[in-house]
Structure 1
Amino acid sequence: MKSDENKIRTLSPGLALAFGGEPGDTNNFVDYVERNLRLYQIRNNTELLPAPASAFIRKELANSIRSRSPYAVNLLLGGYDKVHSEAHLYSIDLYGTKAILPYAAQGLGIYVALSTMDKYWYPEITREEAEELLRKCVAEVKLRLAYQFTFNAVVIDKDGVKDLPLL
């Protein structure tokens, strides 16, 4: 419930990971993923694309749940595939279940945000409209939940990962 903690980590120039769960587990697992993706990049002299990165993360969480010390983390992995010029968004839960999504949210305001996105999102949405939709989600969460939150968002495109100011 730390309201000022940024729970989005940039893993590579075209890949970012949003995480939630037990603080120790999230920090350890995200550090582990970040370092392994960096090791892959050093060994192979290329970045891991979003789809193989999501498969690696999913496999690690699936193996973790079968161990004596499973990670209690829920993740959103977003990335831009420069080879195919397309964006990817994956949701990976603590059991290693991976889903490909057109939009997602995480945290206490997830249900309010997702219902807002369900209402206003459409497949051909422009970037400006998507940013406005995100601002609507933030406003709705602030309206409906009594607790004051800090919201973090990033934009991932061909130019890399950039913070998105929400206010």
Structure 2
Amino acid sequence: MECVFGMVGDGFAVVAADTSAVHSILVHKTDEDKVMLLDSHKLLGASGEGGDRVQFTEYIQKNMHLYQFRNGIPLTTAAAANFTRGELATALRKNPYFVNILLAGYDKDIGPSLYYIDYIATLHKIDKGAFGYGSYFSLSMMDRHYHPGMSVEEAIDLVDNIIAEIRSRLVIAPPNFVIKIVDQDGARVYGWRESIKDVDIPKA
């Protein structure tokens, strides 16, 4: 019952994701951060099989760091999206990754941008998007309430409404979400929306 969604506002992009790590009918943890900080001005929200998601997103992150180390400049958001899409396309013909990605970033001369990259290496630049079962509700709500040039407060209010809708409508809803934002000041955690917390079980 994963959900990753994001949108572009006035001078920023926001990405939110559930934080549940599940397998079959088991919940392993409820504080899994599925929105990675790729570099100082890029976010990568991912959904899919746990192993594929972690392995592929870390691979992308480390290669972007390597590029910046070798060349002295970071990749632009568009270049990072195309690199990610290329790696998924290459893997698709060998050992495919089942991972869907929303890549958000901020570039000095371009501003904020958001890219949709699915597991079969489709790439689109978008204003709003979502993956997972929660996308049935998040996409419809963004179609109704999203508008270009949203302020941070408007966007976060919409994110909170989407989270509330997912929690009330999905039969097995993820309880916790993480929200991250990227703008001219960089990529960072905006906040967590938690309804339950993992509890340490005392050892016998």
Q: Cα distance, 1:25 vs. partner?
A: 1.0
Is 2:182 the counterpart of 1:156?
yes
Specify which structure has the higher proportion of strand. 2
Cα shift readout 1:72-103 (whole Å, capped 9, x = no counterpart): 1111100001233x101011011111011111
From 110, 116, 120, the counterpart of 2:135 = 110
Q: Distance in 2 between matches of 1:27 and 1:41?
A: 21
Name whichever structure is richer in helix by fraction: 1
Aligned partners of 2:162, 2:134: CA distance in 1, in Å?
9
Worse-matched range after superposition: 98-107 or 9-18: 98-107
Match of 1:93 among 114, 118, 123: 118
Number of equivalenced pairs? 165
Q: Which has the higher contact order (CA 8 A, sep 6+)?
A: 2
RMSD over aligned Cα atoms? 1.4
Percent identical:
38
Farther-moved stretch of structure 1 (127-136 vs 50-59): 127-136
CA contact (8 A) 1:135 1:166 kept: no
Alignment partner of 1:22 is 2:60: no
Whether 2:36 is the aligned partner of 1:9: answer yes
> Comparing 97-106 with 143-152, which one deviates more in the overlay?
143-152
Provide runs of 4+ in structure 1 moved above 6 Å: none
**1:53 and 2:100 correspond:** no
Q: Can you give the 5+ residue segments of structure 2 that lack an aligned partner in the other structure? A: 1-21, 194-204
Q: Distance in 1 between matches of 2:82 and 2:147?
A: 27
Query: Can you give the 5+ residue segments of structure 1 that lack an aligned partner in the other structure?
Result: none
TM-score normalised to structure 2 length: 0.77
**Which among 96, 102, 105 is matched to residue 70 of structure 1?**
96
Name 1:81's counterpart in structure 2: 107
